[in-house]
Structure 1
């Protein structure tokens, strides 16, 4: 009989989860070994550490697609993360994968994202020696920058899922693969909805052949994609059927040829490049503008690395405030 709540959960996992699911008791462990929690499995602890960290809270003021939108219902990086989490957990439950691991990866996958969305990422990628990728930065956040530069010391499986969530090699676990699919399903569909709200895209503009396969509403498209993924996945991994996979790629190409290149959005992105570049150069010239912990990184790893870490962690509003403080003249107040 299990002696603790954690051991009971681990026993349930062994009995209920698919044979290829990641079991908590079989984790490859943490960078720094820790005593096990009597209540929570290692993946449950990782999820909790991510939810309570500062980087997670800052996602609420980071752009998803539309820069600093004034409407109440546009997505931010935080609401995107929550939608990815919901879709990923639905997939994981249907496939009998480890939902706790899936949730931890989903909640942590964008912790390293820049202010101003992918426009900010592209700007930093031009400035940072060696380039900048948000998925690599997300791992750096959990390994080093969070918790007053001690890191969150997450399990290997969560870190692997985070760094593999968008491009290149697929995650070693099906839970990580589920998050990668969930991310693609979420951003494509909520970007369509936000684009329609913004007047960038007409509801009738979606190609008819794609609508016929995936559905004519956000809900139907998401349901179709999840159901197809579940129906075509198993011991060998996750995959869409050829028909649905091709329709998704066609929708992806359509969005990149219309919404993501909208002239008004691109005009604003040029301003983002200026803000990021000016902040970057100013702090390289005067590292004293960096908080103490980042000064230590500058000493250990170089000023470029410290400035990149600091800027990438900013919210949109913080970056704009700092730009104004450094470069916009202030009014004289005459008594």
Structure 2
């Protein structure tokens, strides 16, 4: 992305809360926030709905409050649904705390990949219960699809260099899944072909790192799953969001119920152009970008793509309420004008 992006003219600078996807799960990520009412309610609600739907295995609450819980790789192999639910719950829980503590208003949410479901929940378009049910349905569709072994590979290539490499190696089944930053492109495809890309990239002195993922999201391999998921989404009620909803799969905001349902399914087959969305949001007046995950995933990408803007990851671990408040104050440069912590997102 160009580094000479012009500042928006007129209007009030806006803040966006960014909701990450795949990489947001960390064992025990919420252990220092588990007594916060809104966090406790998110974990209790997610586990309650999971149990009502017949879910088994390690409760999400333990995965996110016990530092000794399984790490991302063993968890996605042993219980991919638990991995998905823990990722979703961690982002929603962190977001509720940030919304409560932010000294200045948050105007929008931005989802990245499966983080779109968390963004829709944080905005109030979907409830926590709906989010859990949708992840259960998606889990069943993915299992029933009997997909080939496939995944995601993060590289430090530009999108153009990645496309050139794929053509040179004749790997038509590998696709660009995400254009995250000027020099971060994620590829999706069958495992054997991604292994070829990895060897070639490393031989050229470039980084190529497999991502923890149960399949090749943002890839045509999931077209059948996407179509079935979209059909089921038609029956889902969608509330008018309290915050404007953006997705990294599109440049503009989602406003209608149909657009919001499209956002919920986009991560299955639609490629991500995070840099394009950031550029559009910058032009729309967004100047502060807060990462709502327990790591600094999206804030790092935003910093690379938006020179001169304010980026931060206030809930990156290890973190408690006081540290989040200090980090937010440092970002906004204002005193402690935070609202009292409330009871969190509705069930």
TM-score normalised according to structure 2 size: 0.28
**Whose helix proportion is higher, 1 or 2?**
1
Structure ranking higher on relative contact order (CA contacts 8 Å, 6+ apart): 2
**Whose strand proportion is higher, 1 or 2?**
2
Q: Max radius of gyration: which structure?
A: 1
